Chain A
Amino acid sequence: MTTGTESSIAVSAKSLSKTVKAQSGSLTILSGLDLKIKSGESVAIIGTSGSGKSTLLGILAGLDQPTDGEVALADNRIDHLDEDARAKVRADHTGFVFQSFHLLPNLTALENVMLPLELAGKQNAQTQSKALLERVGLSERLTHYPKQLSGGEQQRVAIARAFAGQPDILFADEPTGNLDEKTGESIIDLLFEVNREKKTTLVLVTHDLQLAQRCQRVLKLTQGRLEEEKSTQNNVEWAGEAE
């Protein structure tokens, strides 16, 4: 399941296992999973409800720790790091888009986008964020609060925010799950467009096969392991994928 060379690997996992305690003993969600995602690649992870997609995303993104195995993000082993050290890796390399947007309700659209930049202590947070919001078509909505925005608009803000920190890797968890079909499509278009512009690695978790097909690779999670559903050539053009 290896693609590309070691030097350009954005995300990798080796013999990854995750077991959680459940009422009826322990429950194995991931077992001996291996994965390598090259820099700039777009990968969809699909699976049925409860197959462990989100758990895998959490571990790959450094939000959670595996029970066993190795995980590396942009050449940083993170499986043995404590939460604060993983936070540092996340700050330097990752961005997130979530199903339920996760905008901070008491911040305006602009402030939501500024937040990662402010947390990192970056200058020009406002200028950069305005440019990003303009890019996602919300230049008229800067001072609106999340509750004043439609679902699609909220997700656009979330996309702008995800790219604000100029991440190497973008993790997206069911980004269209809370949107109607039409809005969902326009959001996905936007996500792929910006992803291509910024040359970001995209790791997308979804149960929507149509959406998954827009990625270069599709991996299916079943019984704790990944199977390659679709593999594209390494030299596939981004433009071809987006359309």
Chain B
Amino acid sequence: MSLRSPHSLLLSWRFLLRDWRSGELWLLMLSLLMAVSVSTSIAIFSERLQLSLGRQVAEVMGADLVISSPRPLSEEVNEAIDSESVEQATVLEFPSVVMAEEEMQLVSAKAVTSNYPLRGHMRTAEQPFAADEIAEDTPGKGEVWLEPRLFPLLGVEVGDSLLLGEAEFKVARAITLETDRGSGFYSLSPRLMFNMDDLDRTGIIQPGSRVYWKSLIAGEPEQLKGFRNTVEPLLSDSEKLSLAEDNREDLRSSVLLLKQFLGLGSIAAMLLAGIAVAMSSRRFAERRFDGIAVMRCMGAQQNQVMQIFIGELLWVAVLVSIPGVLIGWLLQTGVVKLLAGVLPAWLPEAGPMPMIVGGLTGIITLVGFGLAPLLRLREVTPLRVLRRELTPAAAGVWSVYGLSLISMLALLWYHTGQLLMTVGIILGVTAVILLITLAIKAGLARVQRRLSERPVPMPWRLGLKRLLQEQGQTSAQLIAFTLTFMAMALVLLVRTDLLDRWQQQLPENTPNYFAVNIQPAEVKPFQSFLESNDIDGTSLYPMVRGRLVEINGQPAKEAVSEEQRSHNSLNRELNMTWSDQPAPEDEMVEGEWWQPGDTGEISIEMSIVEHLGLKMGDELTFMIAGTEVDTKVTSIREVQWESFQPNFYMVLPEASLKNLPATWLNSFHLPQQERLVLNELVRQFPTISLLDMDAVISQVQIMLEQSILAVEAMLLALLLAGLLVLASAIEASLDTRLREGALIRSLGGSRKQLMVMQVGEFFIMGAFSGLIAVVGTELCSWWLNIQVFELPWQPAIWLWFTMPVVSALLIGFSGWLGIRRVIRQSPGVVLKQE
């Protein structure tokens, strides 16, 4: 229905002012305000959080975006970098030999420009393994920074000189954290870092040298998007672009979970606000039947009436959207301020989109949830002025729920960005509503039978009778209550599961160091070193490096599609281990583990299977230290990458690998204050590479804390929305209750009887909806945990006992609050108003 007539628009504005003045609209406005502000604040907050998490990942990577290549970047790419207004730092990595006075050592040298890194920080210390601090600069001209373990290996101290290529450098500091040293660390030699300006002086880089170029890029999200679009088509096969968002599986899965949870929370909150809108708008419509009948008598046409009242509500939506967006913005600003200590100081501002969508939510919610009851206004006959019982038929179930579901679909799709999940949720909600309706119908039928079989005290009987007689309204209220409790319980349950999962992910004593490249002969001494120093270390894992050369008898690169050919696993050596049982964290997707002594089998990680299009039974041949090893895929695993435990793509039986050259890998936890012991470790085991994961772990920890806070805030918003639904539902039935209460009082009913009757009715509805909500909650949480969050599920037994009681008490109490007026009101006043 469009408002074509300016006259109707003006009239609807007048009606709005009049209704506002007489206090008719506040509940509807409040519900809409809730929908708009919740939607806005969640949209803004999650976008900011998303951006900030992206930045946090970027910190680990040193940039928002990295282009890497075995050759200098092509002219076109360099021009693109210059022409787009993004920041750039250049990094060059190559293996080289460094010479100190007495020692020589293979190092992984890294030349950096002085603006390196663009995101995050390096940390350095004055001495190896001493307390470190954020590095404000990069190595100066003529200086090198070394990884701590290089000091004992080269026998140098800070201030000593060493030779790299033809140039002499002074050792200036120890690098304790290098931001972008994320992946592929198993093969790294110890790090030596120097200034790019000294590169020519070393004379090392010649045509054909093995060099790895990296261009680190940073900028605002919009700039990056533009840059990416420009540059991507220019890249050659060997130039690889990686985004912060695509990196760090461990951080990413947490971000995804949080985003999904916030999505779920906002769905629930908006659904509740929507229900409140539906109830208020139903009351709005019903209270206008008489007035509209009069207006129709005066000659107003159906369309004119519709235009006036729909126009009035559109005005409401527009007027509410503005303060709603403002409140939403303030809310999230408040949350951000409140959490200043936890959130990163540079939480980026969100774009205008969340605010626009937040504002539109008002109109979408109103149309979706409020339109169906309003359509009844069209059917009001003018004859109602003479025969008041001529009430328009109740809005069709499908128009009520259909419209709401469609509007929810639109909002959810925006908030979650996942069509499939959204459709899933919508179907789920539809199924739940159907189930609730059936359960309510069955329940009410049972009550009716009971009522006719045995006597029930009068006040209870009246309450129950009313529930039964007005089944339509009773069902609507029960559905609203049930959905409210379900949404709240569901979010509470999932929140608990999520928190558990996050805590599991980073238990105390999460390994913060990885020791790699432990030689077979060093395994025993290494273990006893850890034991004698009271270091909490996991078991040791053997590691064999090999290349995948054939798939089902065909050369690997020919066996896969062109797109798959560039996948990392075909272009580098893979880390493999042997084990006669699967890692406890891993989940078997397909197949079975081998028996000890078996050979020729392999277990592969899921993502590789997907990337290379492999399947069970495929035959893979690896080249390991000059030996071909034939295997057959007999199991596929899903690996918990965020567990901070050593994980492997390929696992083989011990018998297949034990005669091949292997090194060992270990991860252990070392408290900050005991770090100096590492000096000794490196001296005793000079060939071992040590990786410090503390920085990454603390980043993840901060992120989890943020996530938990966001989750709690969500729950609070949901609680408010739930209370709003209760208020709307009670308010919606107030007119009938006032009338009925007055009648009963005028017939000599005592206040107490009235109280038992009215509050009892709410109490029964509360208990009943609580019971149905438990069933619904369990079904939904099962589905969400298994399908969406991939969390283990178990029934929440406590919920079965608490929920019906809590909801009965809550609804009973809210009902009492709402209808005190009914009980106090003098019957004369009420009946006179009739």
Question: For B7, B303, B304, B383, which residue has the most chain A Cβ atoms within 10 angstroms?
Answer: B383
Does the CB pair B833–A147 fall under 8 Å? Answer: yes
Does the CB pair A90–B386 fall under 8 Å? Answer: no
Q: Name the A residues within 8 Å of B386 (CB-CB).
A: 54, 57-58, 63, 98, 173
Q: How far is the CA of A9 from the CA of B14 in the complex (A)?
A: 38
Q: How far is the CA of A119 from the CA of B11 in the complex (A)?
A: 8
The stretch of B64-72, B288-296, B741-749 in contact with A is B288-296
The stretch of B17-25, B481-489, B497-505, B675-683 in contact with A is B17-25
Residue in B18, B19, B300 whose CB lies within 8 Å of A87:
B300
Residue in B11, B290, B304 whose CB lies within 8 Å of A102:
B290
Residue in A90, A111, A120 whose CB lies within 8 Å of B297:
A90
Does the CB pair B24–A106 fall under 8 Å? Answer: yes
Does the CB pair A115–B298 fall under 8 Å? Answer: yes
Binary per-residue interface labels of chain A (108-122) against chain B in the complex, 1 for a CB within 8 Å, 0 otherwise: 100100011011110
Does the CB pair A120–B299 fall under 8 Å? Answer: yes
A-B contact count (CB 8 A): 83
Does the CB pair A87–B301 fall under 8 Å? Answer: yes
Q: How far is the CA of A145 from the CA of B18 in the complex (A)?
A: 11
Q: Name the B residues within 8 Å of A61 (CB-CB).
A: 297
Interface size on B, residues (CB 8 A): 29
A211 within 8 A of B: no
Does the CB pair A104–B383 fall under 8 Å? Answer: no
Q: Name the B residues within 8 Å of A106 (CB-CB).
A: 18-19, 21-22, 24, 291
A96 within 8 A of B: yes
Q: Name the B residues within 8 Å of A108 (CB-CB).
A: 18
- Kindly identify, within residues 89 to 145 of chain B, every residue whose CB is under 8 Å from any CB belonging to chain A: none
A64 within 8 A of B: yes
- Kindly identify, within residues 64 to 98 of chain A, every residue whose CB is under 8 Å from any CB belonging to chain B: 64, 83-84, 87-92, 94, 96, 98
Does the CB pair B19–A119 fall under 8 Å? Answer: no
Residue in A63, A84, A88 whose CB lies within 8 Å of B383:
A63
Q: Name the B residues within 8 Å of A88 (CB-CB).
A: 299, 301
Contacts A58-B386, A63-B382, A64-B383; A96 near B297 (Cβ below 8 A): yes
Does the CB pair A87–B24 fall under 8 Å? Answer: no
Does the CB pair B14–A118 fall under 8 Å? Answer: yes
A29 within 8 A of B: no
Q: How far is the CA of A145 from the CA of B23 in the complex (A)?
A: 13
Does the CB pair B385–A90 fall under 8 Å? Answer: no
Does the CB pair A116–B298 fall under 8 Å? Answer: yes
Q: Name the A residues within 8 Å of B22 (CB-CB).
A: 105-106, 145
Contacts A58-B386, A111-B18; A84 near B297 (Cβ below 8 A): no
Residue in A57, A87, A147 whose CB lies within 8 Å of B299:
A87
Question: For B7, B296, B304, which residue has the most chain A Cβ atoms within 10 angstroms?
Answer: B296
Whose C-beta in chain A lies nearest to the C-beta of B11?
A118
Question: For A64, A90, A119, A145, which residue has the most chain B Cβ atoms within 10 angstroms?
Answer: A119
Q: How far is the CA of A89 from the CA of B298 in the complex (A)?
A: 10
A179 within 8 A of B: no
Min CB–CB distance A124 → chain B (angstroms): 15
Whose C-beta in chain B lies nearest to the C-beta of A147?
B833
Contacts A54-B387, A58-B383, A91-B299; A104 near B291 (Cβ below 8 A): yes
A107 within 8 A of B: yes
Q: Name the B residues within 8 Å of A102 (CB-CB).
A: 290, 293-294, 385
Q: Per DSSP, are chain B's interface residues mostly helix, strand or loop, or mixed?
A: helix
Whose C-beta in chain B lies nearest to the C-beta of A145?
B22
Binary per-residue interface labels of chain B (1-35) against chain A in the complex, 1 for a CB within 8 Å, 0 otherwise: 00000010001001000110110100000000000
Binary per-residue interface labels of chain A (186-205) against chain B in the complex, 1 for a CB within 8 Å, 0 otherwise: 00000000000000000000
Does the CB pair A87–B296 fall under 8 Å? Answer: yes
Does the CB pair A83–B385 fall under 8 Å? Answer: no
Chain A interface residue bracket vs B:
20 to 34
Q: How far is the CA of A61 from the CA of B298 in the complex (A)?
A: 11
- Kindly identify, within residues 35 to 71 of chain B, every residue whose CB is under 8 Å from any CB belonging to chain A: none
Whose C-beta in chain A lies nearest to the C-beta of B387?
A54
Does the CB pair B385–A91 fall under 8 Å? Answer: no
Q: Name the B residues within 8 Å of A83 (CB-CB).
A: 302, 381-382
A175 within 8 A of B: no
Does the CB pair B385–A121 fall under 8 Å? Answer: no
Min CB–CB distance A179 → chain B (angstroms): 13
A165 within 8 A of B: yes
- Kindly identify, within residues 132 to 162 of chain A, every residue whose CB is under 8 Å from any CB belonging to chain B: 145, 147
Q: Name the A residues within 8 Å of B294 (CB-CB).
A: 96, 102, 104, 115
Q: Name the A residues within 8 Å of B382 (CB-CB).
A: 63, 83, 87, 90
- Kindly identify, within residues 748 to 802 of chain B, every residue whose CB is under 8 Å from any CB belonging to chain A: none
Residue in B11, B14, B298, B381 whose CB lies within 8 Å of A90:
B298
Whose C-beta in chain B lies nearest to the C-beta of A61?
B297
Whose C-beta in chain A lies nearest to the C-beta of B25?
A106
Q: Name the A residues within 8 Å of B21 (CB-CB).
A: 106
Does the CB pair A119–B18 fall under 8 Å? Answer: no
Question: For A57, A89, A96, A165, which residue has the most chain B Cβ atoms within 10 angstroms?
Answer: A96
- Kindly identify, within residues 295 to 337 of chain B, every residue whose CB is under 8 Å from any CB belonging to chain A: 295-304
Whose C-beta in chain B lies nearest to the C-beta of A119?
B300
Q: How far is the CA of A115 from the CA of B305 in the complex (A)?
A: 12
Whose C-beta in chain B lies nearest to the C-beta of A165?
B298
Q: How far is the CA of A108 from the CA of B298 in the complex (A)?
A: 18
Does the CB pair A116–B299 fall under 8 Å? Answer: yes
Whose C-beta in chain B lies nearest to the C-beta of A101?
B294
Question: For B22, B298, B833, which residue has the most chain A Cβ atoms within 10 angstroms?
Answer: B298
Contacts A64-B383, A87-B382; A119 near B290 (Cβ below 8 A): no
Q: How far is the CA of A204 from the CA of B715 in the complex (A)?
A: 62
Does the CB pair B299–A92 fall under 8 Å? Answer: yes
Q: How far is the CA of A111 from the CA of B387 in the complex (A)?
A: 24
Does the CB pair A96–B385 fall under 8 Å? Answer: yes
Q: Name the B residues within 8 Å of A90 (CB-CB).
A: 297-299, 382
Min CB–CB distance A190 → chain B (angstroms): 20
Min CB–CB distance B209 → chain A (angstroms): 85
Binary per-residue interface labels of chain B (372-401) against chain A in the complex, 1 for a CB within 8 Å, 0 otherwise: 000000000111011100000000000000
Q: Name the B residues within 8 Å of A120 (CB-CB).
A: 299
Q: How far is the CA of A121 from the CA of B5 in the complex (A)?
A: 11
Does the CB pair B385–A63 fall under 8 Å? Answer: yes
Min CB–CB distance B330 → chain A (angstroms): 32
Min CB–CB distance A112 → chain B (angstroms): 9
Q: Name the B residues within 8 Å of A84 (CB-CB).
A: 301-303
Q: Name the A residues within 8 Å of B293 (CB-CB).
A: 102
- Kindly identify, within residues 264 to 294 of chain B, every residue whose CB is under 8 Å from any CB belonging to chain A: 290-291, 293-294
Q: How far is the CA of A92 from the CA of B301 in the complex (A)?
A: 12
Whose C-beta in chain A lies nearest to the C-beta of B14?
A118
Min CB–CB distance A215 → chain B (angstroms): 20
Q: Name the B residues within 8 Å of A165 (CB-CB).
A: 298-299
Q: Name the A residues within 8 Å of B383 (CB-CB).
A: 58, 63-64
Whose C-beta in chain A lies nearest to the C-beta of B832?
A151
Q: How far is the CA of A63 from the CA of B390 in the complex (A)?
A: 13
Whose C-beta in chain B lies nearest to the C-beta of A53?
B386
Q: How far is the CA of A208 from the CA of B557 in the complex (A)?
A: 103
Q: How far is the CA of A91 from the CA of B300 in the complex (A)?
A: 7
Q: How far is the CA of A84 from the CA of B381 in the complex (A)?
A: 11
Q: Name the A residues within 8 Å of B24 (CB-CB).
A: 106
Q: How far is the CA of A6 from the CA of B284 in the complex (A)?
A: 47
A-B CB contact pairs (8 Å), 28 listed: A54-B386, A63-B382, A63-B385, A63-B386, A87-B296, A87-B300, A88-B301, A89-B299, A91-B300, A92-B299, A98-B386, A102-B290, A102-B385, A105-B22, A106-B24, A106-B291, A108-B18, A111-B18, A115-B294, A115-B295, A118-B11, A119-B11, A119-B298, A119-B299, A119-B300, A119-B304, A173-B385, A173-B386
Q: Can you name 17 extra interface pairs (CB under 8 A) apart from A87-B382, A106-B291? A: A54-B386, A83-B382, A87-B301, A89-B299, A91-B299, A91-B300, A96-B297, A98-B386, A104-B290, A104-B294, A106-B19, A106-B24, A108-B18, A111-B18, A116-B299, A118-B14, A173-B385
By a beta-carbon cutoff of 8 Å, the part of chain B in contact with chain A is: 7, 11, 14, 18-19, 21-22, 24, 290-291, 293-304, 381-383, 385-387, 833
Complex A-B, nearest 4 residue pairs according to Cβ-Cβ distance, in ascending order: A91-B299, A106-B22, A104-B291, A90-B299
